[in-house]
Amino acid sequence: MSDPAIYANHLELKKVSREHRRLSGLFQSYDRWCAALKELEENTAMIQAEQDEELKTLIQSDIDALNNEIASLESTVRFALLPPDQNDSRNIIVELRPAAGGEEASLFTGELFRAYSRYAEHKNWKMEILDMSASELGGLKSVAFSLAGEDAFARMKYESGVHRVQRIPATESGGRIHTSTITVAVMAEAEEVEIEIRAEDLRIDVYRSSGPGGQCVNTTDSAVRVTHLPTGLAVASQQEKSQHRNKEIAMRILRARLLERQQQAEADKQAADKRAQVGTGDRSERIRTYNFPQNRVTDHRYGVSVFDLPTLMEGALEPLFEQIIKVDSERRLEALNQQ
């Protein structure tokens, strides 16, 4: 960090700054852990020598508090020693789409997007809507947005997959519980210099936007579809009235998808049959169920359940994420120990 040359390399500066913060937190926790162990030793010696029962009660209270703190700090230090994810310092692009369930799935897509938006506000992350298409009853046919901020990927990476909702829809007159699903894709956002995209590898199509959006929509060819010919990946954007802006958005999403594909290919080569399910971006498996009649959210990958669904849907995702991250860290530590 003291080398002036590093400030000329934006990507390297971000990487080193992130590692500096990670190590600073590790050593702060380690120093406090060592200090707490010393205090515990001193208090244990004091209580053995103390004759006054009232003082012994006070010392025992301190010992109990120190034991709890030491256990917590030990877990923090152990988890901090895990190798960080290569994408943890990146901003992200998130895409939500209804899968099975028709209009009910679209409605839940809108509700989950709102929950993510509220959570981003709590975390002081910067959100930018890249593309959004509304359904007839007020839900969302699709939405793509970016999140920029500390630990955005580290928290949101656990959201990639199929989310299932079980409840009585507003469109259901018979009171029957329906099951719907939506897909969530969380992708690390790539820098332009990381993913080389040649102009000759792109096909750019422009067309008129559809849906509500003001006087310019449906009257000008502002919508853009970008197709990457070597991979066949295609991204369309019609969020903005400017063709140039829509092309810029489509290129950001395309770069993120290409980075995800590139990293997935590398992971497949390095650990084809041992790859952990979390962090692979696999969106084909149901990862979570939102059961409204039981007021329960269950993450099936980690066996974690939270019984406060209304609060969670208001953006209070941290209690769920904390449990998931703890279980994930314990599994990763166990895997490292086995190696």
User: Tens digits of per-residue pLDDT, 135-171?
Assistant: 887 889 889 999 998 889 989 999 999 999 998 876 6
- pLDDT tens for 227-273 read 998 888 888 888 777 888 888 888 888 888 888 888 777 766 655 44
Q: Are 122 and 315 in contact (CB under 8 A)?
A: yes
From first CA to last CA, the distance across the chain in angstroms is: 33
Reported as half-sphere exposure (CB side, CA atoms, 13 A), residue 223 has a value of 18
Extract the tokens encoding 74. Answer: 């030990």
Q: Would you write out the chain's pLDDT as a tens digit for each of its 339 residues?
A: 888 888 887 777 777 887 888 888 889 999 999 999 999 999 999 998 888 888 989 999 999 999 999 998 988 888 888 887 777 778 899 999 998 888 889 999 999 999 999 999 999 999 999 888 888 878 898 899 999 988 899 899 999 999 999 988 766 666 788 889 999 999 888 876 567 788 888 888 888 766 544 444 445 667 888 899 888 888 888 877 788 888 888 888 888 888 888 877 776 665 544 444 333 334 456 899 999 999 999 999 999 999 999 999 999 999 999 999 999 988 888 887 777
- At 324 the three-state DSSP class reads helix
- In terms of Cα–Cα distance, which of 40, 22, 41 is closest to 86? 22
Burial class (CB within 10 angstroms; exposed 0-12, middle 13-18, buried 19+) of 99: middle
Residue 307 main-chain phi, psi, to 5 deg: -105, 65
pLDDT at 12: 77
Would you put residue 245 in left (φ > 0), alpha (ψ -120 to 50) or beta? alpha
Whole-angstrom Cα distance, residue 297 to residue 301?
12
Under 8 Å CB-to-CB from 68, ≥6 apart: which residues? none
Whether pTM exceeds 0.85: no
Whole-angstrom Cα distance, residue 11 to residue 274?
30
Q: Are 180 and 98 in contact (CB under 8 A)?
A: yes
DSSP structure class, residue 207: E
Strand-strand pairing, 126-134 and 140-148: antiparallel
Under 8 Å CB-to-CB from 127, ≥6 apart: which residues? 117, 120, 145, 146, 147
